[in-house]
Amino acid sequence: MEKETAPERSPSPTTESAKDEDTTPQQSDQDVAATAPAPLEPEKSRTALQTAVLMFALCASVFLAALDVTIVTTALPTISSYFQTSVAYTWVGSAYMLSSAAATPIWGKVSDIWGRKPILLVVSGIFFFGSALCAAAINIDMLIAGRAVQGLGGGGLLTLVNICISDLFSMRNRAKYYGFIGMTWAFASAIGPILGGVLTEKVSWRWCFYINLPITGAAFFIIAFVLHLDTPKTPVGAGLLAVDWLGSISIAGATVMFLLGLTFGGVIHPWDSPIVICLLVFGILLFLVFLAIEWKVARYPIMPLEMFENFSNIASLLGVFFHGMMMVIGSFFMPLYFQSVLGATALLSGVWLLPLALSLSFTSAGTGWFISATGRYMDCIRFAFTFSVLGFGLLYDLPLGRTWSKIIIYQIICGLGVGPNFQSLLLALQNQVKPHHYATVTATLGFTRNLATAIGVVIGNVVFQNSMLKQQAHLNDSLGPKVAKMFSGKNAEASVFFVNKLPTLQREIVRAAYYSALRDVWITAVTLAAAGLISCLFIKGKELSKVHEKVETGLAAEERKARDRKAAGEKVSDEKVAV
């Protein structure tokens, strides 16, 4: 039988709440506190040391999941040479991305059934096993399989950490802890290429994966002994029957097909090839099937559609989508600018990207403290998108030479724009739903961000390649057809390190071509930032409560949610009939 848990809302003695500039009054916490005993808030039941140790473990988990997205980028040439195959360039990165994105929506609902802590430990174990497979790989197939397993665990780590924080801290107080998570994610993503390059050059490419094992193991044991959350005694068989298998399989299949289409397009197959078109079209169609399943079939849906009845939630997810696309364009194409226009090596381009990474990291942490102190998350969202428009607009003015003042300052402004929206948009989404939806909306946000980053890379690549194609006639005249072909549309990114080997005059011509193409990419990023700024106008500001609202997990809680959904649907039907 499932363990009895406390009621969903457990108010604390603290009733003060800060209001956002657009706030609307909510039900008085004093009214609830007057009629029920006030248990100690979870934050106050832990010592500062316990909270610090627990956040260290959670941040370490996020650090590794984010690190493994980028740490292999500088190791890929060595890995390809070791296994004597070019397959590594496409699949070592893509396998992680595909499995991570496909599994992200599912982890939230699974944790609703079995509880947060057991599932967090499970995904930590999966990530550990995948890392061990990669480190011990004896052929490229084993390495790719290991990366896919890593992605399953990595996607779960990012989602479950955010969900656990929502269960551990009140809406107002969790902002600063989300700030730490955002800072960790940004720093890990930026340091990944540098660390990967150093490990590959000084030790072995295998240490890009060995490094995960001791850190994951330490985080596992800290979480096992320090994380205290109510865990329902859900039987394995009953839990498996409760999983929304139709929804899980359809969303995973749709995600894999769509992202494979994006991965193949313009690289392995032309965009107009039947394979790419079928993957993209049937991926979208299967996603529509998934929505139909969630609407009419699933008893315990992994993505309850009632969360989209509030237009503010749709606007928040649109903000996440535009934020993800512009962020990945900046982090993906700034190193290309350093390498192609300024002649940096792959490792050096990672070092030169630190102003963006550090400003993004510290801004994310500072935003968390600001929201916890003031409750004004809408200010942060608007500030972030405004600075994103300014920052990416300034990238259009990046120099052809090494004018460091512009290079550093423009990156810092971009970081000020990107950093705040890691946690601000998550809080805006969570603040508009009932506590029992925190896990599913958090997983939905992670899924949206994964899609956005994949689509953002493709959009940036298409714009860049088309711009290089427009300059092909000029390059033919200046370089000759044979050399110019190396820098044609789809070949331009792969040939970036040949630029420095050209004679001086030809090198300057090619650098100018890259510079012009990248300017078109920055315009695209500005457009996405502006779209995000428009979307935030439709996000509702709402009071951030300091009262912690306890969330029940387990089959009994899922059954209550199912009955509530059914009752709400019947009420809407009755109202339509009455009209």
Residue (of 569, 579, 558, 550) closest to 12 by Cα position: 550
pLDDT at 578: 64
Share of the chain above pLDDT 70, in %: 90
338 and 276 housed in the same domain: no
Tokens matching residue 532: 């995000």
271 and 373 housed in the same domain: no
User: Is residue 242 predicted with pLDDT exceeding 80?
Assistant: yes
Q: How would residue 41 be classed by pLDDT, with cut points 50, 70 and 90?
A: low
Query: In this structure, is residue 574 part of a structural domain?
Result: no
65 and 192 housed in the same domain: yes
Q: Determine phi and psi for 265, rounding to 5 degrees.
A: -60, 125
- Cβ–Cβ under 8 Å, residues 143 and 91: no
* Model confidence pLDDT, tens digit, residues 254-297: 999 998 998 888 777 888 899 999 999 999 999 999 999 999 89
Strand partners, 535: none
Residue (of 449, 561, 563, 436) closest to 116 by Cα position: 436
217 and 345 housed in the same domain: no
User: Is residue 235 predicted with pLDDT exceeding 50?
Assistant: yes
The count of structural domains within the chain is 3
Print burial letters for 131-170: b (CB count within 10 Å at least 16), e (below 16). bbbbbebeebeebbbbbbbbbbbbbbbbbbbbbbbbbbbb
- Cβ–Cβ under 8 Å, residues 312 and 428: yes
Indicate the range of 134-143, 212-221, 402-411, 561-570 predicted with least confidence: 561-570
User: Is residue 553 predicted with pLDDT exceeding 90?
Assistant: no
Tokens matching residue 471: 């300059």
The average pLDDT across 549-570 equals 79
- Cβ–Cβ under 8 Å, residues 523 and 411: no
User: Is residue 14 predicted with pLDDT exceeding 60?
Assistant: no
Strand partners, 265: 269
C-alpha 382/C-alpha 226 separation (Å) is 37
The 8-class DSSP code of residue 139 comes to S
pLDDT at 572: 59
Query: In this structure, is residue 461 part of a structural domain?
Result: yes
187 and 90 housed in the same domain: yes
User: Is residue 30 predicted with pLDDT exceeding 50?
Assistant: no
Query: In this structure, is residue 50 part of a structural domain?
Result: yes
pLDDT at 365: 92
pLDDT at 574: 60
DSSP collapsed to 3 states, 118-132: HHHHHHHHHHHHHHH
What residue type is assigned to position 251 of the chain?
I
User: Is residue 360 predicted with pLDDT exceeding 70?
Assistant: yes
pLDDT at 217: 93
User: CB within 8 A of 459, min separation 6: which ones?
Assistant: 325, 329, 524
Tokens matching residue 111: 């944790």
pLDDT at 31: 42
The 8-class DSSP code of residue 515 comes to H
404 and 531 housed in the same domain: yes
Q: Tell me which residue range forms the domain holding 175.
A: 46-229
Query: In this structure, is residue 16 part of a structural domain?
Result: no
Query: In this structure, is residue 361 part of a structural domain?
Result: yes
Tell me the whole-structure pTM to 2 decimals. 0.85
Mean of all residue pLDDT scores within the chain: 86
- Cβ–Cβ under 8 Å, residues 307 and 444: yes
Taking each helix axis as running N to C, give the angle between helix 438-470 and helix 311-340, from 0 to 180 degrees, rounded to the nearest 10: 40
Please, what is the Cα angle at 411 between 406 and 413, to 5 degrees? 100
97 and 178 housed in the same domain: yes
Q: How would residue 11 be classed by pLDDT, with cut points 50, 70 and 90?
A: very low
Full DSSP string of 554-575: SHHHHHHHHHHHHHHHHHHHHH
Print burial letters for 35-66: b (CB count within 10 Å at least 16), e (below 16). eeeeeebbbeebeeeebebbbebbbbbbbbbb
- Cβ–Cβ under 8 Å, residues 80 and 89: yes
170 and 205 housed in the same domain: yes
Indicate the range of 150-159, 397-406, 544-553, 569-578 predicted with least confidence: 569-578
Query: In this structure, is residue 305 part of a structural domain?
Result: no
* Model confidence pLDDT, tens digit, residues 306-352: 888 899 999 999 999 999 999 989 888 998 899 889 988 878 888 89
The 8-class DSSP code of residue 273 comes to S
- Cβ–Cβ under 8 Å, residues 58 and 164: yes
291 and 322 housed in the same domain: no
* Model confidence pLDDT, tens digit, residues 460-516: 888 998 899 889 888 888 888 888 888 887 778 778 888 888 888 999 999 999 999
Tokens matching residue 47: 């010592």
Beta strands in 1-134 (DSSP E): none
Query: In this structure, is residue 207 part of a structural domain?
Result: yes
Query: In this structure, is residue 567 part of a structural domain?
Result: no
pLDDT at 42: 61
340 and 441 housed in the same domain: yes
pLDDT at 331: 86
User: Is residue 547 predicted with pLDDT exceeding 80?
Assistant: no
> Which residue is listed with tokens 């990165």?
93
260 and 366 housed in the same domain: no
pLDDT at 248: 93
Q: Determine phi and psi for 276, rounding to 5 degrees.
A: -65, -45
Indicate the range of 72-76, 183-187, 450-454 predicted with least confidence: 72-76
User: Is residue 380 predicted with pLDDT exceeding 90?
Assistant: yes
User: CB within 8 A of 228, min separation 6: which ones?
Assistant: 46
- Among the candidates 299, 327, 346, a domain finishes at 299
CATH of the domain at 430: 1.20.1250.20
Tokens matching residue 258: 């769509």
* Model confidence pLDDT, tens digit, residues 171-220: 888 999 999 998 998 888 888 888 888 888 888 999 999 999 999 999 99
The 8-class DSSP code of residue 148 comes to H
Q: How many CA atoms lie within 13 A of 492 on its CB side?
A: 31
Q: How would residue 77 be classed by pLDDT, with cut points 50, 70 and 90?
A: confident
- Cβ–Cβ under 8 Å, residues 184 and 61: no
Distance of CA 423 to the CA centre of its chain: 11
272 and 373 housed in the same domain: no
Instruction: Report CA-CA distances (Å) from 162 to 59, 281, 410.
Output: 10, 32, 30
